[in-house]
Structure formats: structure tokens, C-alpha cells
Amino acid sequence: MLKHIIIAATIFILIFGAFSVQAEKSTEMFIPIGQSPGLSGEYTVMGKIDQVNARDQSIKMSGPSGSYTVRMTKHTLIYLDRSKTQLPNSYGTLADCKVGDMAEVKFVDNARSKPIEWIKVQKAK
């Protein structure tokens, strides 16, 4: 009986991905930079964009904790934060990430060695 349960559970997990940690992504887009609850200031990094490398899908940023390069994947969400201009936020592309923009990034599994799950780019004008 127990063996069956373990086998069934393993199959279940292999087939269904319901056992990953996941926060709600859709409303995250509307949260201004630096205000994501439980993440901002603890698990995210903020800084100015110094360089955008489209070829290897990376962004070099610098902030209070120094300079660092973050990697993106095809799954990385790019949020454009226009709340400062009182315009609706939206999804963006790498082309919307401009040198000088303030940005906040969240890493996959909150591990800085991993690519980023999302980046919020503040559009001040």
C-alpha cells in the first residue's frame, strides 16, 4: 500500500507541476518598483541600468550594494512601471530597458546565482 502511494505520488509530481512555490504574477505588474510585499528590500535588488546586452540577454546594473549583471531567460517577465507618471503599467521587452532607468529584479527562487524571474523598469517620463 505505502509503496503504491509513493510510486503514485512520484508519478503525480512528475506529471503535474503543482508543487512549486508560486506567487501571483498578474497583479505584480501593478505594484510600483520597490513595493513588492515580502520581496522588495529583502529578496530583490534595485539599481540603475548601466548596460543592456541584447545578445546574451543580460543587464548590468549598479546600486547601493555595488555593480552586478543579471541574466534573463525567455520566461523572465519585464514590467514597465509608469506609476510615477500616473499611467498604467504594462509588460515590456528588453528594448524597453534603457540605460539610466531605475530597475528592480527578482531572481528565480530568490537565488542570486540564478536568472531573474522578473524585472521592473521604472519609466519616469
Partner 1 sequence: MKPIVVLICGLLLLVGCHTPAPPPTPDPDAELIEKGRQIFFNETFDGNGRTCGTCHPAENNFVIDPAFIASLPDDDPLFVAEFNPALKENFENPRLMREFGLITENLDGFDDLANKFTLRGVPHTLGLRFTIDSSLGPRTGWSGDGSPGDGSLRSFATGAVIQHFTKTLNRVAGVDFRLPTNAELDALEAFQFSLGRQQELTLPLPLKGTVANRGQAIFNDLTLGKCSACHFNAGANFNPNIPFPVTGNLNFNTGVEDLPDQPQDLTGELVPPDDGFGIPGDGTFNTPALIEAADTGPFFHNNAIETIEGSVAFYNGDAFNNSPAGQLIQQATGSGINLDGTQVVEVAAFLRVINALENIRQSIELLEPVARKSHQTVEQGLQLLDLAGRETEDSIMVLSAGGLHPEAVQHLKEALRLTRKAKRSIFSKSHLARQAIEQQQKARAELVETS
Q: Tell the smallest beta-carbon distance from residue 85 to partner 1 (Å).
A: 9
Q: Which residues pair with 116 in a beta bridge?
A: 107
Q: What is the largest CA-CA distance in the chain?
A: 63
Q: How far apart are CA 48 and CA 64, in angstroms?
A: 10
**Site membership for partner 1, residue 20 (CB under 8 A):** yes
Q: Please work out the total of residues on this chain that contact partner 1, with binding judged by CB under 8 A.
A: 44
34 vs 3, 27, 37, 41, 56, CA distance in Å? 48, 15, 9, 7, 26
Please, which of residues 60-89 interact with partner 1 by CB under 8 A? 82-83, 86-89
Least distance CB 21 / partner 1 (angstroms): 4
Interface with partner 1 (CB under 8 A): 1-2, 4-13, 15-32, 35-40, 43, 82-83, 86-89, 91
